[in-house]
Amino acid sequence: MSTPDTASETAPGAPAVRTPSRRYMARRDAIIASAIREMNRHGVRGMTLGDVAARLDLVPTGVIYYFRNKEDLAAAAFERSIGRIQELAEVAREHPTERERVKVFIDLFILLQQRIELGEAEPLTVFNDVRALNSESVNQAFVALFRTVRSLLDRRETRTRADLNGRTHLLINALTFVSAWIYTWRVEDYPRIGQRIASILLDGIPRGGNVPGVRFLDLQPAGDEIDEGSAEHFLRAATQLINDEGYHGASVDRISSKLNVTKGAFYHYNATKDDLVVACFQRTFDVLWRAIDAAEAGGDDGLEIMHSLLQAVVQLQVGPAPLLRTSALTTVPEEIRADLMFRLRQISIRLGSMLCDGIADGSVRPLDTSITAQILTAGINAASELNWWQPGEDPEAGARLFVEAMVRGLLWR
């Protein structure tokens, strides 16, 4: 006999096979949609089956009927969002030229964001801590998406595989980062924003073809000790763990274990875990401001200043002491989020101001500086994962290729 949520399909002489009923699939879809909203608020580690169930007026066991555990539910949520983006990329792949393919993909993605904002489509998962799940099926789905998006770009002799992978990584992250800032615009303006995103990603920021070289920027503050047990040592380890596992995954126990120290040693530098998170963000903001000040101190023009800044920061991101991904802000407690968001906006505004200087001196082409600043922020964030997509590539060389794509655009050479 079938359960209320299954239906039997039996061929003559074959054993009965139960297939999910429409009611079953509708409830399962609703649970996944609820999980996406919870994951976007609290991250993979912070999501609970109880909170997912409460959104639907269910008890937790009602969710377990459909998903064995939180990890299976999170995997289903990620796979659904990956599949939706994959569909957009497959539509875009049918167009004849590289420029058309990438532009259509961007346009379709922004149209989806508009439908989400209007309540016509469910949100996409935020991919900040997808690696914290460590799901083979999710990893395979994301790699398949990556390959499809990469196929939108032309393979040329001038582009190595590492170069193409870097450009693909930039494109995916620039778009998935959109949800962090596009809500501040009128939803009616989303198509206009999409056009500007496409222009910036496709053609870069220089005015004319001449792009100056970069200056070396020393971002290490004087007297900054990084000996084992130092505050800086704690901040670096915690930053890497938060980048990999998200706010909730980076527990005091895990941070202490990573450093091979006791909890007592942890609390010598930090009264609470939130104090440590704030300190990690403070370190990140300090480094970014040092980079901005150093770049502006001796730059010839706005483009050279921005180029040098990006090269210095991205180089740091692929090294042993990356910055905290600003996308981690989505899962930190609300009581500390507002101040950190304000300080991040200050940096974004300054990046936009630097671009304005470049437009004024003629080195940067006329473009929307606020949107460009967000795309560059997304690129800086994404750089911390470059090593995953450029295996075997010298990190310094990979960083240079990535920065060239950020500055010159995805269609460069």
Buried b (16+ CB within 10 A) or exposed e, 179-214: bbbbeeeeeeebeebbebbbbbbbbbbbbeeebeeb
The C-alpha atoms of residue 37 and residue 43 are separated, in whole angstroms, by 10
Domain with 397 in it: 231-408
Write the CB contacts of 130 (distance below 8 Å, at least 6 apart in sequence).
44, 78, 138, 142
Is 155 part of any domain?
no
What's the pLDDT at 9?
A: 43
Is 351 part of any domain?
yes
Write the CB contacts of 90 (distance below 8 Å, at least 6 apart in sequence).
148
**Residue recorded with tokens 């390959």:** 147
Is 83 part of any domain?
no
The C-alpha atoms of residue 406 and residue 261 are separated, in whole angstroms, by 39
| pLDDT tens for each residue of 111-133 | 999 999 999 999 999 988 787 78
What's the pLDDT at 13?
A: 55
Is 223 part of any domain?
no
Is 308 part of any domain?
yes
- With pLDDT > 90 as the criterion, what percentage of the chain qualifies? 66
What's the pLDDT at 18?
A: 65
What's the pLDDT at 158?
A: 95
Is 168 part of any domain?
no
The C-alpha atoms of residue 97 and residue 93 are separated, in whole angstroms, by 9
Whole-angstrom CA distances from 271 to 209, 227, 252, 263 are 52, 21, 11, 11
What's the pLDDT at 332?
A: 80
Cβ atoms of residues 128 and 327 within 8 Å: yes
Give the helix/strand (H/E) hosting 7. strand 6-9
What's the pLDDT at 1?
A: 35
What's the pLDDT at 139?
A: 95
Is 86 part of any domain?
no
The C-alpha atoms of residue 89 and residue 83 are separated, in whole angstroms, by 10
- Dihedral angle computed from the Cα positions of residues 27, 29, 32 and 37, in that order, rounded to the nearest 10 degrees: -100
| pLDDT tens for each residue of 58-74 | 999 999 999 999 999 99
Is 46 part of any domain?
no
The mean predicted confidence, pLDDT, of the chain is 89
What's the pLDDT at 228?
A: 61
Domain containing residue 273: CATH number: 1.10.357.10
Mean pLDDT by 10 residues, the chain (413 residues): 44 58 93 95 88 94 94 97 98 98 98 97 90 90 97 96 97 95 95 98 92 86 58 80 78 77 73 83 93 91 96 93 82 84 93 97 97 97 92 92 97 94
Phi and psi at residue 49, to the nearest 5°: -65, -30
What's the pLDDT at 15?
A: 52
**Domains: count for the chain:** 1
- Dihedral angle computed from the Cα positions of residues 38, 107, 148 and 206, in that order, rounded to the nearest 10 degrees: -110
Instruction: Give the tokens for residue 366.
Output: 């006329």
pTM: 0.91
